[in-house]
Amino acid sequence: AVEVIRTASAREAGAAAAAVVANCIVENPRAVLGLATGSSPLPTYEALQEKNLDLDGVKAFALDEYVGLGPGHEQRYRHVIRREVIQPLGLRPSLVRVPDGLAPAPEDEAARFETSIRCAGGIDLQILGIGTNGHLGFNEPGSSFSSRTRVVELAETTRRDNARFFDSPDEVPTHAITQGLGTIFEARHLLLVANGPHKAQAVARAVQGPITEAFPASMIQRHPHVTIVLDRSSARFV
Ligand code: GLP
């Protein structure tokens, strides 16, 4: 079942989503979280910070990571997650796993990552953004609903959408490691956050469009426990 929470602003959406995360951690101080990057979940992480929760026992897995960005590149998701999540929230770095986008054999790294999630007992609460093309993580249109963590090629639309984080469009990586749609689907609770008018159409297709691998986010309609938190502009068509 999909629960839609509409709010007036990105800031309020962040507060509502943070309340969902906080509730999960209060119920289970050793909860396993899935962490999305991108601009959408930022207000959530900010609102969570104000709650001053004890996150010492919380384990977390990143949703995805670029392949091949240099060790110090600030857009490597391992650095983004350290800056935006681990440091401000006080997560234990040793309990946060991000796929290594510089592993010599990225496919093997993806398989190890999948195993790590399973060994941790699976993900309790997966935080998600949504791409304008309906991607979840870096599962681009056409990804199988049963896909596992793997190396994928980024869609041109995604490389263009994300070019704003880089000095030049050419610098955007062509490949990434992403949790698969099947991996994401196994999380016990999905928390999808979206903000801005440019996400309104994607949100509507995810929530009420046909369920198809051509639009990966439509998968959420089959999941037993989904919460979607929207600001006013992203909620326009739902
Ligand atoms: C990015 C990330 C996704 C994210 C999505 C939306 O490329 N890989 O995990 O959810 O695209 O990004 P944003 O929230 O910045 O719009």
pLDDT single digits (tens) 40-84: 999 999 999 999 999 999 999 999 999 999 999 999 999 999 999
Measured by CA distance, the residue closest to atom 9 of ligand 1 is 137
Give the pLDDT band (50/70/90) at residue 168: very high
> What's the pLDDT score for residue 51?
95
Q: Do the interacting molecules here have an ipTM over 0.90?
A: yes
**Residue 181 near residue 139 (C-beta atoms within 8 A):** yes
Q: 38 in ligand 1 pocket by Cβ < 6 Å?
A: yes
Q: 28 in ligand 1 pocket by Cβ < 6 Å?
A: no
> What's the pLDDT score for residue 72?
96
Q: 34 in ligand 1 pocket by Cβ < 6 Å?
A: no
Q: 147 in ligand 1 pocket by Cβ < 6 Å?
A: no
Domains in the chain: ranges and CATH: 7-190 (3.40.50.1360)
The closest-lying atom of ligand 1 relative to the alpha carbon of residue 40 is 14
Give the pLDDT band (50/70/90) at residue 1: confident
Query: For residue range 179-214, what is the model confidence (pLDDT) as tens digits?
Result: 999 999 999 999 999 999 999 999 999 999 999 999
Q: 77 in ligand 1 pocket by Cβ < 6 Å?
A: no
